[in-house]
Amino acid sequence: MMHPSSIQPNAHIAAMAPYALADLNVATGKRPIMLAQNESALPPSPLVVAAVDDVMHAAQFYPDPDWTGLRGAIAQVHDIAPEQILCGGGSMELIDCLTRCYAGPGDRVLSSQYGYAFFRTATRAVGAAFDAAPENDLTVSVDALLGAVQADTRMIFVANPGNPTGTRIRRSELVRLRDALADHIMLVIDEAYGEFADTPGEATFDLASRGNTVVLRTFSKAYGLAGMRVGWGVFPPAVATEMRKILTPNNISVAGQAAATAAMLDQAYMRATCAGIIDRRDRCIRELRNLGLVVPDSFTNFVLIRFPDGDAAVRADRALRAEGIVVRGMAGYGLPECLRVTVGSAADMACATEHLTKHLTTGHNRENPQ
Ligand SMILES: Cc1ncc(COP(=O)(O)O)c(C=O)c1O
C-alpha cells in the first residue's frame, strides 16, 4: 500500500512538465516504420560492430574516464587539440552539464522560437528562466536573438542546423552573433546535424578559442549510434575544467567509446551514409512540394512538412500511423500544422510518400468527406 509522503521535490522541478519524447505507438499488425526520432536510416559501420565485439571481454572494468582513444580519433579527424574535446552520454548530457555550470536561479537562458526542446528542459532543471527569440521564416534570426538578450542572460543555445526546422544560418551569422554578445554570455552552438551540412568554410570549431563559445556534435545522427548515447564537443580549456567537475565520471560505457571511436575513424562510411540520406531527403522534398505542401529546404536528416492547418496535420499523422508509419507531430513546438519526418531507407521513404500521397489525393484527408 502506498503511504502519503511528505517528500517534496524542489519547487522548480515540481513545476516542470515531463520531457515529451515521440509517441511511437503504431497500429498493431503493421510493420512499424519509425521516422519520428531523427535516427540514422542505416546501422553503424561494420567496423563499429567489430570494435564493440572486441572490447566486451573487458566490460567488467570501468571505462576510460578521459575517453583517450575516442578523443584521439575526434582530434585526428577534425584537427582539434584533444584537451579541448569533452565527451558526454549523448550531447544531451553536455547540454545539461553546461547549463548546470553556467546558469542558475535568477539567470536567463535564451534560444530561438523553434529551438530544440531540451534547451528549455535543461534551463528549467537548474531553476533559470528560459526565453525564446522569434525566428524568421522558420530560421534562426541573429537580430532577434540580440534583441532578446537581457541584463541577466547568461547563456544562448543555437541549434544549427535547427531541429525541428531543418534550416541553418551561415557561419558568418554565428560570428556576427558572438561579436555582438557581451563576453560573459556563453554561446552554445549545437551541431547535432552538422555532418549533413558540412561545407568548406562553414566549420565553427575554431570559435571555441574565444573562451566563451562551445560547439557540440553527436554520434547519434550521421554516425548511426543513437543507441550508444555518445556526444562530444569543443570547449575552451577553462570551460572544460569546470565541466569535468560535474560530468558523471566514467560517463560513456566501454562499448560506447569503442563504437564511437571506430565510427569516427570510418569517415568514408559516414560520408556515404549522409550522401544517401541527403539524396532521399531532397527527392522527398520535391515530391511533397509537388503535392502542394510547404516544405522548407533541409540541412539535416529530416524534413518539416507544413500542412494548411493543424487539423490537416493531425489527419495525415493518423493516416500514416494506421499504416504503421510513425512521424512526429509538432504541436509541442508551437507548430501544430507541421509534421517532422526523419529520412529513412529508400523502401521506407517510398512507403511513406505513397501513403501520404494516397491520403492527400483520395479525399480521405477531409474531416467530413462529401
Ligand atoms: C538539436 C539537437 N541537439 C541535441 C540532440 C541530442 O542528441 P544526443 O543523442 O547526442 O543526446 C538532438 C537529438 O535529437 C537534437 O536534435
Quick one: which atom of ligand 1 is closest to the CA of 116? 1
Q: Does pLDDT of 82 surpass 50?
A: yes
Percent of the chain with pLDDT over 90: 89
163 lines ligand 1 (CB under 6 A): yes
Give phi and psi for 100, each to the nearest 5.
Answer: -65, -35
Rounded Cα distance, 57 and 212, in Å: 41
* CA 255 to each of CA 75, 252, 325: distance values in angstroms, whole numbers, following the listed order: 20, 8, 31
Q: How confident is the model at residue 339 (pLDDT cuts 50, 70, 90)?
A: very high
The predicted pLDDT at position 366 comes to 59
Rg of the chain taking only CA atoms, in angstroms = 21
Q: In terms of Cα–Cα distance, which of 153, 107, 97, 104 is closest to 126?
A: 104
Mean pLDDT of 351-361: 94
Q: How confident is the model at residue 127 (pLDDT cuts 50, 70, 90)?
A: very high
* Mutate-to-test residue for ligand 1 from 19, 87, 118, highest number of ligand atoms within 8 A of CB: 118
Please, where are the H alpha helices in the chain? 11-14, 46-55, 68-78, 90-102, 117-125, 142-148, 171-180, 194-197, 237-246, 254-265, 267-290, 310-322, 346-361
Residue 136: DSSP 8-state: B
Domains annotated for the chain, with CATH where assigned, are 11-38+268-361 (3.90.1150.10), 46-265 (3.40.640.10)
Q: How confident is the model at residue 29 (pLDDT cuts 50, 70, 90)?
A: confident
- SS3 (DSSP) at 86: strand
333 lines ligand 1 (CB under 6 A): no
* CA 224 to each of CA 34, 44, 370: distance values in angstroms, whole numbers, following the listed order: 14, 5, 46
* pLDDT tens readout for residues 152-176: 999 999 999 999 999 999 999 999 9
Q: In terms of Cα–Cα distance, which of 203, 211, 260 is closest to 231?
A: 260
Q: In terms of Cα–Cα distance, which of 157, 169, 273 is closest to 214?
A: 157
Q: How confident is the model at residue 19 (pLDDT cuts 50, 70, 90)?
A: confident
Rounded Cα distance, 156 and 95, in Å: 11
* pLDDT tens readout for residues 234-281: 999 999 999 999 999 999 999 999 999 999 999 999 999 999 999 999
364: which 3 cell numbers?
Answer: 480521405
Contact 329, 314 (CB under 8 A): yes
Report the residue count for the chain: 370
- SS3 (DSSP) at 63: coil
Of 172 and 19, the one with more pLDDT: 172
- The average confidence (pLDDT) of the chain is 94
* Mutate-to-test residue for ligand 1 from 74, 93, 116, highest number of ligand atoms within 8 A of CB: 116
90 lines ligand 1 (CB under 6 A): yes
pTM here is 0.95
